[in-house]
């Protein structure tokens, strides 16, 4: 597949969304929590507590919805400031109990509307970046579709970042990049190649740690395998003391872009 074909696959309306992953991996153990305690509950962000085998975890997912009605309700996976603040509230709660945090990311970007800007969209994202870097509990992010700009990064300052094989992760959409560079959005395919936004590109560049096979609905064996990978990663990081955990996270980001 070309880079732009991967972009189209990441946007596919029929692919699994965050609520599907939560249902397949955590079932009835997932308890959704709501609200940022400041303004409202953002339905673009699904967050709560769950059991990963015998380990309690905090799960935070950006949810696009699976049909037109759901997509409108979820604002097409474009979170408002209250969504990021809800996520941070639950991360700080997880830190209090040293409960691992799993983030599932699928968004074209944070919502750019006037109301979101009035309520501090940029500040909400910046606070997440700052707080996640020093969060004293293990954090793992899995990109399950689109990973667009700061809207995705606000849930991806983690100990490790994984991507599904047909997901993408970029500072800008190919269409937006083409419009800026060439004043022609029809050159999106060329922009996608230049942006190096595929899982393989980003693995080669050291931006992510693992590429995950694309699961299908009903492929419970795949979800059990994914759960085990997540559990082992959390166990490895839970064994570190706070200073070791934070130093490892810091070094992870410092080495991005440095040739081996």
Domain covering 3-250, topology = 2-enoyl-CoA Hydratase; Chain A, domain 1 (3.90.226)
**Any idea of the CA torsion for 27, 31, 32, 36, to the nearest 10 degrees?**
-150
Q: What is the pLDDT of residues 8-31, one digit of tens each?
A: 999 998 899 999 999 999 999 999
Q: What is the pLDDT of residues 149-202, one digit of tens each?
A: 999 999 999 999 999 999 999 999 999 999 999 999 889 999 999 999 999 999
For tokens 């604002």, the residue is 75
Residue ranges of the domains in the chain?
3-250
Give which of 260, 10, 19, 253 is closest to 139, Cα–Cα: 253
Q: Is the pLDDT of residue 260 over 80?
A: no
3-state SS, residue 246: helix
- Asked if 157 and 139 touch (Cβ cutoff 8 Å), the reply is yes
Q: What is the pLDDT of residues 75-132, one digit of tens each?
A: 999 999 999 999 999 999 999 999 999 999 999 999 999 999 999 999 999 999 999 9
Residue-level pLDDT at 185: 86
Residue-level pLDDT at 258: 73
Give which of 51, 1, 31 is closest to 164, Cα–Cα: 1
Q: What's this model's pTM, rounded to 2 decimal places?
A: 0.94
């Amino acid at each position: 597949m070309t880079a732009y074909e991967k972009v189209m696959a990441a946007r596919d309306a029929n692919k699994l969304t965050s609520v599907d992953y939560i249902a397949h991996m955590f079932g009835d153990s997932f308890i959704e929590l709501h609200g940022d305690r400041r303004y409202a509950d953002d339905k673009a962000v699904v967050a709560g507590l769950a059991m990963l085998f015998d380990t309690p975890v905090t799960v935070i997912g950006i949810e696009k919805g699976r049909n037109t009605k759901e997509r409108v309700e979820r604002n097409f996976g474009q979170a408002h400031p209250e969504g990021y603040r809800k996520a941070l509230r639950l991360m700080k709660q997880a830190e209090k109990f040293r409960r691992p945090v799993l983030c599932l990311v699928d968004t074209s970007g944070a919502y750019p509307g006037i109301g979101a800007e009035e309520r501090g969209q940029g500040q909400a994202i910046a606070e997440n970046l700052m707080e996640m870097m020093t969060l004293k509990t293990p954090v793992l992010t899995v990109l399950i579709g689109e990973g667009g700009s700061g809207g995705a990064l606000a849930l991806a300052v983690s100990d490790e970042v994984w991507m599904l094989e047909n997901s993408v992760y970029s500072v800008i959409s190919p269409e937006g990049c083409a419009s800026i560079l060439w004043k022609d959005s029809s050159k999106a395919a060329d922009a996608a190649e230049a942006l190096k936004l595929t899982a393989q590109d980003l693995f080669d560049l050291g931006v992510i740690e693992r590429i995950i096979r694309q699961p299908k609905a009903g492929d419970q064996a795949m979800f059990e395998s994914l759960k085990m990978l997540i559990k082992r990663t959390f166990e490895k990081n839970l064994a570190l003391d706070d200073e070791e955990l934070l130093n490892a996270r810091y070094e992870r980001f410092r080495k991005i872009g440095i040739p081996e």
